[in-house]
């Protein structure tokens, strides 16, 4: 970054997310943090001294603007925080997304399809900035930070080794003991504690959908499909002839995919149903063709999480699509996490606490 630390800190906005709680006695706080490295959103979870959990969330996006007097005055007047990078004014996170919609521009995305974007030269410095903002410094040197990584996809040839190594290094340089955990496995840690961490976790993210089957916390099967919220947005934008950021806005403004009200909502509902069906068919196929899969005597629960699952009617459509297939194992409850957007971050925090 081409800015002084003093100026950088002055322009950062306060993290968004759950209520922040001040820690008076750091030594009494359970150490370990969780970090969801998502395509659409980044989320960091930490345990407070009273046992509550704070999760800071920021959209994983940025927007660069010409560095001139008019632009600086505009951002200052709108109270939009920015940094200076490569002689450009850069707005990060939710503010970038909102500003892009106002001016009809597309935000730049550090990640694509669940992995660090190979086409975005500024991806790593931007993500370093956002992660530093929401994660903060370690409370003691070498504090554990468990961060999520996707499983290899079954429908595209992607390699998560480079992606995992980049964030392992980035988080370690911040003073943490960085450890990775599968994204959908984190959902199981977050949502299936009462089931002895046994069941199916699904993380519907922006870049992909991750799936994990675990027995007593041990993952038996993990994979991903290279479709997610961005896939929906891209296809909706294409059929409607609009920008992808506009399609994202339409999706997030309060659609119920069980009862679309117009052409735009109909397109969103069609692609959501297709995505859910695609994921379920692939899970079924992997169960039927998998080796060394455990035999579940009792019905297992399916926990869904991730920002893409937040749309209205999601779990009802999921159950409807599930009823159309002959699933090879008995299934009990099918539910969406109460805090679906931050479930992965909370699961990473649980893993960190167990590790500590």
Write the CATH number for 137: 3.30.420.40
For residue 351, which of 174, 148, 165, 205 has the smallest C-alpha distance? 148
* Nearest-angstrom CA–CA distance, 270 and 272: 6
**Cα(284)–Cα(275) distance, rounded to whole angstroms?**
14
Please compute the mean of the pLDDT values over residues 258-275 and round it to a whole number: 95
Top pLDDT among 185 and 78 is at 185
How many Å apart are CA 131 and CA 150, to the nearest integer? 18
In the predicted structure, residue 261 carries a pLDDT above the cut 60: yes
User: Which of these, 186, 218, 209, 200, lies nearest to 346 by C-alpha position?
Assistant: 186
Cα separations (Å) of 127 from 37, 108, 117, 161, 305? 9, 12, 11, 18, 22
Q: Residue 355 domain-assigned?
A: no
Same domain, 236 and 326: yes
Q: Quick one: pLDDT at residue 79?
A: 82
Q: Is residue 356 part of a domain?
A: no
Taking a C-beta distance cutoff of 8 angstroms, is the pair 212, 201 a contact?
Answer: yes
Q: Are 143 and 270 in the same domain?
A: no
Residues 50 and 110 in one domain: yes
Shared-domain flag, residues 198 and 178: no
pLDDT, residue 335, reads: 98
Say if residue 14's pLDDT is above 90.
no
- Give the range of the structural domain holding residue 334, as residue numbers without chain letter: 194-341
**pLDDT tens string 192-244:** 999 999 999 999 999 999 999 999 999 988 999 999 999 999 999 999 998 88
Least confident of 120-134, 139-153, 182-196, 242-256: 242-256
- Taking Cα atoms as reference points, which of 72, 66, 54 lies closest to residue 14? 54
| Residue finishing a domain among 132, 157, 192 | 192
Q: Are residues 130 and 220 in the same domain?
A: no
Q: Check if the beta carbon of residue 150 is closer than 8 Å to that of residue 224.
A: yes
Largest Cα–Cα distance of the chain, in whole Å?
A: 68
Residue 178 located in a structural domain? yes
Structural contact between residues 41 and 153, judged by C-beta atoms closer than 8 angstroms: no
- The verdict on 144 and 255 lying in the same domain is no
> Does residue 124 sit in the same domain as residue 218?
no
Are residues 249 and 158 part of one domain?
Answer: no
Q: Distance (Å, rounded) from C-alpha 115 to C-alpha 343?
A: 19
pLDDT, residue 199, reads: 95
Would 350 be classed as within a structural domain? no
* Lowest-confidence region among 81-85, 100-104, 135-139: 100-104
pLDDT-derived band at 24 (thresholds 50, 70, 90) equals: very low
Give the pLDDT of residue 74: 84
171 three-class SS? helix
Residue 32 vs residue 15, higher pLDDT: 32
In a domain, 351, yes or no: no
pLDDT at residue 15 above 80? no
For range 176-196, the mean pLDDT:
96
Residue 124 and residue 51 in contact, taking contact as beta carbons nearer than 8 Å: no
Q: Is 33 part of any domain?
A: yes
Least confident of 21-30, 71-80, 176-185, 260-269: 21-30
98 or 238: whose pLDDT is higher?
238
> What angle separates helix 123-135 from helix 160-173, to the nearest 10 degrees?
50
Judged by DSSP in three states, 179 sits in strand
Looking at the 3D structure of the chain, how many domains does it have? 2
Whether 29 shows a pLDDT value over 80: the answer reads no
Whether 347 is covered by a domain: the verdict is no
In whole angstroms, give the CA distance from residue 44 to residue 55: 5
Flag whether pLDDT at 8 surpasses 50: no
Q: What is the pLDDT of residue 291?
A: 64
Domain co-membership, 253 together with 336: yes
- Distance between CA atoms of residues 305 and 340, nearest Å: 4
149 and 217 assigned to the same domain: no
Contact by Cβ (8 Å): 319, 280? no
Tell me the range of 66-70, 337-341, 351-355 where mean pLDDT is highest. Answer: 337-341
Residue ending a domain, among 136, 162, 192, is 192
Average pLDDT, the chain: 87
- Provide the pLDDT for residue 347: 97
* pLDDT band of 18, cuts 50, 70, 90: very low
3-class DSSP state of 199: strand
User: Could you say which of 134, 166, 192 is where a domain stops?
Assistant: 192
Question: Does some domain include residue 68?
Answer: yes
How many of the other CB atoms lie within 10 Å of CB of 111? 23
Q: What gap in Å lies between CA 102 and CA 53, rounded to an integer?
A: 34
């Amino acid at each position: 970054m081409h800015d002084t630390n003093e100026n950088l800190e002055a322009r950062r906005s306060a993290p968004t997310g759950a209520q922040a709680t001040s820690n008076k006695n750091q030594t009494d706080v359970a150490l370990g943090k969780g970090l969801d490295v998502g395509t659409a959103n980044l989320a960091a979870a930490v345990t407070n001294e009273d046992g509550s959990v704070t999760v800071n969330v920021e959209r994983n996006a940025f927007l660069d603007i010409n560095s001139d007097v008019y632009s600086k005055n505009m951002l200052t007047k709108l109270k939009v925080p920015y940094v200076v990078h490569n002689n450009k004014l850069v707005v990060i996170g939710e503010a970038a997304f909102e500003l892009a919609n106002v001016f009809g521009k597309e935000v730049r995305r550090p990640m694509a399809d669940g992995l660090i974007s190979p086409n975005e030269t500024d991806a790593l410095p931007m993500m370093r900035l956002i992660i530093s903002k929401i994660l903060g410094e370690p409370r003691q040197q070498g504090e554990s930070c468990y961060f999520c990584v996707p499983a290899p996809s079954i429908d595209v040839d992607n390699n998560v080794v480079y992606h995992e190594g980049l964030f392992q290094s980035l988080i370690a340089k911040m003073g943490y003991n960085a450890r990775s955990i599968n994204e959908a496995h984190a959902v199981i840690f977050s949502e299936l504690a009462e089931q002895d961490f046994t069941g199916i976790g699904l993380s519907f993210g922006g870049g992909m959908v991750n799936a994990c089957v675990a027995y007593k916390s041990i993952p038996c099967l993990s994979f991903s499909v290279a479709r997610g919220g961005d896939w929906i947005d891209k296809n909706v934008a294409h059929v409607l002839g609009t920008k992808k950021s506009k399609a994202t806005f339409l999706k997030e403004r309060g659609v119920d995919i069980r009862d679309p009200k117009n052409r735009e909502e109909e397109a969103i509902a069609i692609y959501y149903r297709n995505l859910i069906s695609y994921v379920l068919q692939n899970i079924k196929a992997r169960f039927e063709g998998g080796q060394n899969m455990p035999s579940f005597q009792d019905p297992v629960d399916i926990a869904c999480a991730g920002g893409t699952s937040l749309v209205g009617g999601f779990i009802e459509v999921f159950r409807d699509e599930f009823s159309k297939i002959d699933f090879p194992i008995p299934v009990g409850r099918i539910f969406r996490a109460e805090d679906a957007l931050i479930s992965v971050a909370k699961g990473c925090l649980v893993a960190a606490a167990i590790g500590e």
